[in-house]
Amino acid sequence: MKDDVIAPEAPVITAKLNTLCFQILGVLLRQPRSGYEIVKQLEMVWPVKTSQIYPTLARLEKMGLVVSDDVEQQGRPNKRVYSVTRSGEKTLRDWVGTEPAPPVWRDEFLTMLYSAWTKDPQQVLAMFECRLKYLDDTMNMLRSRLAEHRATFPEELKNPRNWHFFRDILISRRLFNYEQELVWSQSVIYKLREFIDGERES
């Protein structure tokens, strides 16, 4: 608590951090991990490739926000496990609660729908059928994750001072999202079927 007055613990190299940096700090603050593990952890949250993660981790280390520790393993390659420093923790906590940038979601499926009036309604229907399958698969995966998490940490996830609370609400948010898209898709499918039937009769 007196760090900033008495002993500035790290040589603070000021540089602008992007959202990915804060996301990485967030993962590592929950639990120290290697670059490879971070990539898997962020797969659904903020997809990132190894070619981006390793240089970023090196940058964070140079800034004194994380430290690494080489861990030897038998039967697998060794790994370098990163953890957050006190300086990194402060940086992260200071960022949380600032004004977030407006969300941007880019969905190629929607871009295709934008011009789907150039296609036959039957083909658009087929596009939606494929989408339904994708949605169903993703939802099942999320449901099992959520169930497992709730069974394993029934108490922790009631406490907003515990990260399990936020894991729970973030998974359930994604699930809600897919459920809602499913409902919407079905309503569009209904409209398309109605039109196709009407066209066939005349």
When asked if residue 18 is in the footprint of DNA (CB under 7 A), the reply is: yes
Burial of 84 (0-12, 13-18, 19+ CB in 10 A): buried
Work out which of 11, 47, 100, 103 binds DNA, going by CB under 7 A.
Answer: 47
Q: From the CB of 130, what's the least distance to DNA, in Å?
A: 20
The SS3 call for residue 93 is helix
Both tokens assigned to 182: 């499913």
Q: How far is the CB of 70 from its own copies (least distance, A)?
A: 26
Separation between Cα atoms, residue 202 and residue 191, nearest integer Å: 17
Please name every residue paired with 82 in a beta bridge, in sequence order, or none if there are none.
Answer: 33, 68
144 burial level (CB within 10 Å; 0-12, 13-18, 19+): exposed
CA of residue 104 relative to chain centroid, distance: 13
- Residue closer to DNA by CB (options 138, 185) is 138
Question: How many residues does the structure list for the chain?
Answer: 202
The one of its own copies, DNA, none whose footprint includes residue 67, by CB under 5 to 8 A per kind, is none
Which residues in the 103-142 window bind its own copies by CB under 8 A? Answer: 103-119, 121, 123-124, 126-127, 130
Element (H, E) at 69: strand 66-71
Q: Which of residues 39-68 bind its own copies (CB under 8 A)?
A: 45-47
What's the CA gap between 69 and 82, in Å, rounded? Answer: 6
Residue 186 binding its own copies, by CB under 8 A:
no
State the residues that interact with its own copies by CB under 8 A.
Answer: 19, 22-23, 25-26, 29, 45-47, 89, 92-93, 95-101, 103-119, 121, 123-124, 126-127, 130, 158-163, 165-166, 169-170, 172-173, 176-177, 180-181, 183-184, 188, 191-192, 195
State the residues that interact with DNA by CB under 7 A.
Answer: 16, 18-20, 34-37, 40, 47-52, 54-55, 57-58, 73, 75-80, 104, 106
